[in-house]
């Protein structure tokens, strides 16, 4: 057991003792509070630096917010207009919103937040925003350098911060105007929130929220002791029945799949010295054969205990996904792809080869991530049938960064924002300097669709182009196309919920094990 798991288990033990001493009805299991166990502690509660990215920040209001079906509705905004050229957004905000320190929320706070987020150059990409200016207390005018269809998606996760109370410690002691008020953060232990009694959207039914950080096995122990009300678990542990709790398998776009370098090894290296290219995976027929040989449903059923579904793209289930990315398992077609391209098992060792090159390569995954390990090993076992040898190896993220441009990686993505597609596949992103596009994919055709999607003036136009990125009838990033990725499974987010508690209508979760769950916290209720 590694140190993180030991720490989480100790924290679970401490929490159990605390609950026993205090009485569970004072905390977990009470009718107006919840205790939630998740595995991922946020780095900050500052929205300008990434808090709430892809999810609702809950402490802060957002101009617009997602509905359960991933459309938009107004939150702090009461209306907005877009100029004909797509460059100027004018938002009118409500005049009854106040921060939890009693100060009124104004358009100046909105402008300050957006410009601060842009200048921070963190996980919130606002490089295309030229300015945000408060015209008066309830009107903010935002000017973009180019039309950007994902702007509303971005605004839905940027919580508005108070200009008058923003400082270096804001990320650990935030003030907002959202449904919940921040109370306390004990690093590596817990964060406490209380309902914002002045929230313009109505006071949440859950008055106190304690989020504790635990590994999955420690969280299950806390569930079995009745010490928490909600706990993220895993596919491996999710079949454990616990009296007084029910299991909710929440669909997600949290996917796992292989990145496969599309460039040959020509002796080039990245800026960090990492080698670039792979002489096996650079062949399209190798990548496609792997994609068609996999029985994704079997992997979901066996490796994930049924808590998952086949994955065919980076955004399965999202409104901008192209349904034509779905492919059927076809082992014979996979073998034909290889044979037609000249790959044969000449020496009878079970591995096909071409011009003396064996169809063999390594796939790395982060050590300790048992889901990625199991998915990779199951996939490797299946592709042996078509004569491809994938050697699965666990290692550190530092080592992966040295190998991911030249070897396959068992990666995970999935987001409620379509710009993930943009970052994964744009030619400009093939710079071999981060985890986006380590396979080195680039295409003028794809770039054209990506740019058209980003610059579209309507959601419908944007979605049509996002879909063409994947497959336009001839080519695309899909596995039936250029196949820089072999997508395998989407994980269900396995969640124990105490009987009598409703966690509302959960939207499709993005990547991450914890924060997506609480984005609709104000909708949670206990049965009477």
Question: Considering only 416-420, 479-483, 520-524, which range has the smallest mean pLDDT?
Answer: 416-420
* Residue 24 located in a structural domain: yes
Strands (E), 226-384: 230-232, 245-250, 255-259, 308-310, 353-354, 357-358, 360-366
Instruction: Provide the residue count of the chain.
Output: 528
pLDDT for 51 equals 82
Question: In the beta sheet, which residues pair with residue 196?
Answer: none
In whole angstroms, give the CA distance from residue 37 to residue 164: 33
Asked if residue 309 and residue 382 are part of one domain, the reply reads yes
pLDDT for 160 equals 97
pLDDT single digits (tens) 261-298: 999 999 999 988 999 999 999 999 999 999 999 999 99
Asked if residue 50 and residue 7 are part of one domain, the reply reads no
* Residue 178 located in a structural domain: no
CB 281 within 8 A of CB 408: yes
pTM equals 0.86
Say whether pLDDT at 1 is over 80. no
pLDDT single digits (tens) 288-318: 999 999 999 999 999 999 999 999 999 888 8
Count of beta carbons in the 10 Å neighbourhood of residue 456: 20
Say whether pLDDT at 481 is over 60. yes
Last residue within a domain, chosen from 136, 171, 206: 171
pLDDT for 3 equals 44
The percentage of the chain sitting over the pLDDT mark of 90, rounded to a whole number, equals 74
Count how many domains the chain has.
Answer: 3
Asked if residue 502 and residue 467 are part of one domain, the reply reads no
* Residue 177 located in a structural domain: no
* Residue 320 located in a structural domain: yes
* Residue 333 located in a structural domain: yes
* Residue 440 located in a structural domain: yes
Using the Cα atoms of residue 36, residue 39, residue 41 and residue 45 in order, give the sign of their dihedral: negative
pLDDT for 408 equals 98
CB 424 within 8 A of CB 413: yes
* Residue 354 located in a structural domain: yes
Asked if residue 211 and residue 72 are part of one domain, the reply reads no
Asked if residue 131 and residue 116 are part of one domain, the reply reads yes
pLDDT for 226 equals 96
Residue 409: which CATH number?
3.10.105.10
Last residue within a domain, chosen from 105, 137, 171: 171
Asked if residue 110 and residue 68 are part of one domain, the reply reads yes
Asked if residue 519 and residue 402 are part of one domain, the reply reads no
pLDDT single digits (tens) 322-374: 999 999 999 999 999 999 999 999 999 999 999 999 999 999 999 988 899 99
Question: Considering only 186-190, 431-435, 447-451, which range has the smallest mean pLDDT?
Answer: 431-435
Alpha helices in 306-369 (DSSP H): 331-340
Asked if residue 332 and residue 452 are part of one domain, the reply reads yes
Domain of 224 in residue numbering reads as: 1-41+187-252+492-528
Asked if residue 438 and residue 292 are part of one domain, the reply reads yes
Nearest-Å Rg of the Cα atoms of the chain is 24
Query: Chain-wide mean pLDDT for the chain?
Result: 90
Asked if residue 397 and residue 334 are part of one domain, the reply reads yes
Say whether pLDDT at 25 is over 60. no
pLDDT for 388 equals 98
In whole angstroms, give the CA distance from residue 193 to residue 181: 5
Residue 498: which CATH number?
3.40.190.10
In whole angstroms, give the CA distance from residue 373 to residue 394: 7
Asked if residue 245 and residue 268 are part of one domain, the reply reads no
* Residue 182 located in a structural domain: no
Last residue within a domain, chosen from 115, 141, 171: 171
Asked if residue 392 and residue 328 are part of one domain, the reply reads yes
């Amino acid at each position: 057991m590694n140190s993180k798991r030991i720490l989480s288990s100790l924290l679970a033990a401490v929490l159990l003792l605390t609950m026993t001493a205090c009485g569970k009805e004072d905390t977990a299991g009470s009718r107006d509070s919840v205790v939630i166990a998740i595995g991922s502690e946020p780095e900050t509660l500052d929205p300008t630096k990434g808090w709430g990215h892809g999810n609702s920040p809950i402490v802060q209001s957002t101009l617009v917010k997602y509905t359960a079906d991933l459309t938009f509705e107004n939150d702090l905004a009461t209306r907005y207009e877009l100029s004909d050229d797509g460059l100027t957004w004018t938002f009118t905000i409500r005049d009854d919103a106040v921060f939890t320190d009693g100060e009124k929320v104004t358009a100046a706070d909105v402008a300050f937040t957006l410009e601060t987020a842009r200048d921070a150059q963190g996980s919130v990409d606002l490089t295309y925003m030229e300015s945000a200016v408060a015209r008066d207390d309830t009107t903010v005018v935002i000017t973009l350098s180019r039309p950007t269809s994902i702007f509303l998606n971005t605004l839905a996760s940027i919580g508005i911060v108070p200009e008058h109370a923003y400082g270096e410690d804001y990320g650990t002691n935030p003030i907002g105007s959202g449904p919940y008020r921040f109370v306390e953060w004990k690093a590596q232990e817990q964060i406490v929130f209380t309902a914002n009694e002045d929230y313009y959207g109505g006071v949440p039914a859950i008055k106190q929220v304690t989020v504790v950080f635990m590994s999955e096995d420690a969280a299950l122990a806390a569930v079995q002791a009745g010490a928490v009300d909600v706990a993220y678990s895993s596919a491996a542990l999710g079949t454990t029945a616990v009296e007084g709790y029910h299991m909710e398998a929440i669909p997600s776009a949290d996917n796992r799949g292989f990145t496969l370098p599309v460039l040959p090894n020509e002796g080039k290296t990245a800026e960090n010295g990492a080698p670039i290219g792979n002489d096996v995976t650079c062949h399209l027929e190798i990548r496609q054969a792997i994609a068609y040989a996999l029985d994704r449903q079997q992997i979901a059923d066996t490796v994930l205990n049924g808590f998952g579904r086949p994955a065919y793209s980076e955004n399965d289930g999202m409104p901008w996904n192209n349904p034509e990315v779905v492919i059927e398992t076809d082992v014979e077609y996979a073998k034909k792809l290889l044979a037609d391209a000249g790959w044969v098992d000449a020496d009878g060792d079970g591995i096909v080869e071409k011009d003396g090159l064996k169809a063999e390569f390594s796939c790395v995954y982060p050590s300790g991530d048992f889901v990625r390990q199991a998915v990779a090993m199951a996939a490797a076992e299946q592709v042996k049938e078509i004569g491809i040898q994938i050697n699965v190896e666990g290692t550190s993220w530092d080592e992966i960064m040295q190998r991911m441009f030249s070897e396959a990686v068992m990666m995970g993505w999935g987001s409620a924002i379509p710009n993930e597609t943009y970052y994964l596949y744009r030619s400009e992103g093939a710079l071999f300097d981060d985890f986006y596009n380590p396979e080195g994919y680039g295409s003028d055709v794809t770039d054209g669709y990506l740019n058209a999607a980003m610059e579209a003036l309507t959601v419908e136009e944007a979605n049509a182009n996002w879909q063409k990125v994947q497959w336009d009838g001839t080519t695309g990033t899909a596995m039936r196309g250029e196949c820089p990725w072999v997508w395998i499974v989407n994980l269900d987010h396995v969640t124990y919920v105490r009987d009598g508690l409703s966690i509302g209508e959960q939207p499709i979760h993005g990547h991450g094990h914890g924060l997506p769950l609480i984005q609709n916290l104000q909708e949670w209720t206990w049965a009477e």
